[in-house]
Amino acid sequence: SKTLEGKIALVTGGSRGIGAATARALAENGADVAISYASSKDRADAVVEDLKALGVRAKAFQADQANTDEVSGLVAAVVSHFGRVDILVNNAGVFVMGQVHDRANNVAELDRMFDVNVHGVATAVRAVAPIMADGGRIISIGSIVGDTSPWPGLADYSATKGAVAAYTRGWARDLGPRGITVNTIQPGPIDTDMSPADGEMAPTLSASTALGRYGKPEEVAAAVAFLAGPQASYITGATLNVDGGITA
């Protein structure tokens, strides 16, 4: 039988990129999957049709990760529709660059990145943790730049992803007694709208990896599915780099 049969998963930001691939990987392993999105209703609906074709239950919910009430409401809506949440994947995120000394920075936009990437994650975990059954799984998508800052302009984004990794370690301690594992996956360059493999930075990024290429969303999704499954029961509080060796 499939490893995630009977499980209910919530993937935030499941309308595109790594989140959409993750929703699919979880469904391929038998999980029913809720996805959230900010504005891409059509793409979210298409993902849901894709998931249903795999024979699982699936539904999309609109919720802005920057809005605490909407994130709490998302968790409540998923519980009301599916009955519970066994696997939470904190994937929704935004990427804004800016150097600290640049007066042209849009500080509001940089601050909003914290609301989405950090507070949105914390709000979701605070809402899910009290109702998650023992043995549950919480997996967040951080970034290798949570550990390293390879070039200028990344400080704010790096800080959000470093915070996710730090939260992960703390939540692993909080929830360990209930057999709930909490981990962060730190991708390297992955071909999505956020970081397209034909973008300006792409040749530099590819050349910096050990494998000499961009990663695919499915290659991150496979790691999420592993951490969500029964085989990963003794892994918690960890950061797992899925980065083609860019940090090697």
Active-site residue set: 157
CB burial of 172-205 (b: ≥16 within 10 Å; e: otherwise) equals beebeeeebbbbbbbbbbbbbeebebeeeebeeb
C-beta of 212: minimal distance to ligand NDP in Å?
Answer: 16
- Tally the residues of the chain: 248
209/125 Cα distance (integer angstroms): 32
As measured in angstroms, the least distance from the Cβ of 168 to ligand NDP is 13
Measured from the CB atom, is 57 or 115 closer to ligand NDP? 115
Residue ranges in contact with ligand NDP by CB under 6 A: 13-19, 36-40, 43, 64-66, 91-95, 116, 141, 143, 187, 189-190, 192-195
Closest C-alpha among 194, 201, 211 to residue 247: 211
CB of 234 to ligand NDP, least distance (A): 25
Report the residue number, 29 or 123, with the smaller CB distance to ligand NDP: 123
- CA–CA dist 88, 239 (Å, integer): 16
Minimum CB distance to ligand NDP smaller for 64 or for 219 = 64
Helix (H, G, I), strand (E, B) or coil at 77: helix
**Which one, 187 or 229, has the nearer CB to ligand NDP?**
187
Contact 60, 45 (CB under 8 A): yes
Shortest gap between Cβ of 16 and ligand NDP (angstroms)? Answer: 4
H/E segment holding residue 196: none
Cβ neighbourhood burial of 107 (10 Å; 0-12, 13-18, 19+) = exposed
